[in-house]
Amino acid sequence: MREKMHTKINPSTRPVRQDSLRTSRIAVAAVLLAGFVPLFAFALVFSDEKLDAEQAFRTAIDEASAEYQRTRSLPALRRRYEAELKEAKARLPVLMREKRTLRLQIARLQQSVAALQQRFGWSVTADAAVTPVQSADIADAFRALERSQPLLGTDSLGRSFFRRVLVASFGDVLDEDLQSGLIRGILLARAQAEDQQQQLSLLQEQHGALCDETLRMTEQEERASRGLAVTGQQLKNIQATVEEVHAQVLRMQGALARIDAKIKSRIERELLEKGLLTPGTIDRSVVPLAPRFAWPAYGPLSAGFLDASYQEHFGIPHYGLDIVIGQGSPVFSAADGVVFLARDGGAHGYSYVLVGHRGNYATLYGHLSKITVKSGQDLRQGEAVGLSGGAVGAFGSGPTTTGPHLHFEVVKDGTNIDPLAVLP
């Protein structure tokens, strides 16, 4: 009886338990879903912002790289000016001789055409065509003949003295032949004048072209001469900048021992404060003898150590790395150190920071548009030394630049080494 009763109770309670479990599961799923929705939304937003930031970074790098490669190198520019100046100096004397020859030919033709026009009393233009012998032309030619032969006046018929003498001597029968011969002579003279006028126009056109080329060569000579003067001064400025930086690096060598001791004392003091170094201990092996370097900025390299293309651009060796970053990007110290020199080059000079490190190492950060440290200041790795520059003509860029970038050097024992040898 109990078994039967038990059997009756179980069927009635199973649906209730199943509904309860189902309800609990739905509630748990709803709670989990409610918790994950913000996380998913945050992940999506973070992902979008990250992609936007990466895209902006790549765009800035591409723009900086394009501007860096846009400017022509000084030695190449100087060679172009030299070639243009050589061409102009060789061509100008030839042009002057050709112009003089043409001027003499033009003068002779002008005299000949003027004489014919004055003799026969007509005006010949450059586009006049040779006139065929026609009745109207004969009349015109005779009128010109009569005007050109006014000696001793004319008779009642308007005939010149010269013609009357000829007719009286040879008879009226020759009058028509004489008239035809004179007309042919007049027309030949006119054709000659027209031909000479056409030659004159051609020579004048050639002379005009020579004048234009002479003017162009003169301007080219002046432009090339100015360009050579400017590039020469720029190369002098570059050489002066390089010598000044090298002198500061050599001067820093005398201070590196003091800088090394200062950094070492600071490290020991920090280790003591952290309990990693026992006071009075002899074993100082825990204090590193040389710095561990990090990149001062991140971007593509446009020029490497002793890069041949840089030598071609500026005519001087390249003793560092050119890291292409946007104008005004932060620049960080590559290792713990002490600022030896913060050189503000001003609006047109070269601004850079020279930092001394342990182990007779030093680093240089060049083309800075802004310096945020001062001489003697302690630096930790990753601390900002300033803002990058390098845009042509910008504050602190100096003469050795073609676009926004950071120039980074590593010096060991007074000699430049390849920064890639110590960078991670």
pLDDT tens readout for residues 247-306: 998 888 888 888 888 888 887 787 777 766 666 654 555 556 788 999 999 999 999 999
SS3 (DSSP) at 365: strand
Query: With bands split at pLDDT 50, 70 and 90, how would you rate the model's confidence at 48?
Result: low
Q: Are 405 and 276 in contact (CB under 8 A)?
A: no
pLDDT at residue 168, rounded to an integer: 53
As given in the structure block, the two tokens for residue 244 are 């000044």
Query: With bands split at pLDDT 50, 70 and 90, how would you rate the model's confidence at 7?
Result: very low
d(CA 88, CA 216): 9
Query: With bands split at pLDDT 50, 70 and 90, how would you rate the model's confidence at 381?
Result: very high
Share of the chain above pLDDT 90, in %: 33
d(CA 99, CA 93): 10
pLDDT at residue 15, rounded to an integer: 47
* 121-144 average pLDDT score: 49
Residue 227: closest CA among 66, 99, 14, 84:
84
pLDDT at residue 100, rounded to an integer: 92
pLDDT at residue 124, rounded to an integer: 53
CATH 2.70.70.10, the chain: domain bounds: 288-421
Q: Are 314 and 276 in contact (CB under 8 A)?
A: no
pLDDT at residue 373, rounded to an integer: 96
| Strand intervals (E) in 203-323 | 301-303, 321-323
Residue 96: closest CA among 223, 217, 219, 221:
217
pLDDT at residue 227, rounded to an integer: 81
Q: Are 92 and 217 in contact (CB under 8 A)?
A: yes
Choices 2.30.42.10, 2.60.120.680, 3.90.25.10, 2.70.70.10: CATH for 288-421: 2.70.70.10
CA torsion 62→65→71→76, rounded to 10°? -130
pLDDT at residue 164, rounded to an integer: 52
Residue 66: half-sphere exposure toward Cβ, Cα within 13 Å:
6
Query: With bands split at pLDDT 50, 70 and 90, how would you rate the model's confidence at 94?
Result: very high
